């Protein structure tokens, strides 16, 4: 299974494609961030996110997309902008016929670190370790996107095992 994890943001939108190999080994295929200029209008930024995510989907052919669920924003304006970015990310995925899974921040941290209130640096270090990377992915948004993808892979694997036991 191959998953595109997306860490939505209005300045940086992180992405990471992770594959679960035949030997249950996690493999990082790509990661990075779509940097957006605050001087660019919001509609232009949203268009850039849509186009770039679409290109990543075409290039890496993920089976699923996973994003972080909205949790808390400092103000209503920030929450609305973040919601628009999330909507565009979902649109890019659904336009490609992909299913989108959403995960709460506590769930993502628990799946990657084993503790839902883990610090950002702990998540980054565990992502690098789980993916056998030489360095911590940069920018931090890329590491967060990889963590989201890993969370989906772990969750899917657990659900598949539970389903197999029930049958």
- CA dist., res. 74 & res. 118, Å (int): 20
Beta bridge partner(s), residue 12:
35
Select which of 63, 68, 102, 119 is catalytic: 68
- Both tokens assigned to 111: 């799946």
Q: Is 144 a catalytic residue?
A: no
The upper half-sphere exposure of residue 12, i.e. CA atoms within 13 Å in the direction of its Cβ, equals 13
Neighbours of 115 (CB within 10 A): 13
Q: Is 63 a catalytic residue?
A: no
Select which of 23, 135, 138, 141 is catalytic: 141
Q: Is 102 a catalytic residue?
A: no
Beta bridge partner(s), residue 18:
3, 28
The upper half-sphere exposure of residue 153, i.e. CA atoms within 13 Å in the direction of its Cβ, equals 29
Kindly list the catalytic residues: 7, 68, 141
């Amino acid at each position: 299974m191959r998953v595109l994890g997306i860490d939505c943001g209005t300045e940086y939108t992180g992405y990471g494609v992770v594959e679960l190999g035949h030997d249950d080994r996690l493999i990082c295929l790509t990661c990075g961030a779509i940097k957006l200029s605050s001087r660019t209008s919001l509609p232009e930024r949203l268009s850039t996110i849509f186009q770039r995510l679409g290109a990543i989907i075409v290039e890496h052919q993920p089976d699923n997309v996973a994003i972080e669920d909205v949790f808390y924003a400092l103000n209503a304006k920030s929450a609305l902008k973040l919601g628009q970015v999330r909507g565009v990310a979902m649109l890019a995925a659904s336009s490609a016929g992909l299913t989108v899974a959403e995960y709460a921040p506590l769930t993502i941290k628990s799946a990657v670190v084993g503790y839902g209130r883990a610090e950002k640096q702990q998540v980054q270090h565990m992502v690098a370790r789980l993916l056998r990377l030489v360095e911590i992915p940069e920018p931090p948004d890329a590491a967060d996107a990889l963590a989201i993808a890993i969370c989906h892979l772990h969750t899917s694997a657990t659900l598949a095992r539970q389903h197999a036991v029930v049958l």
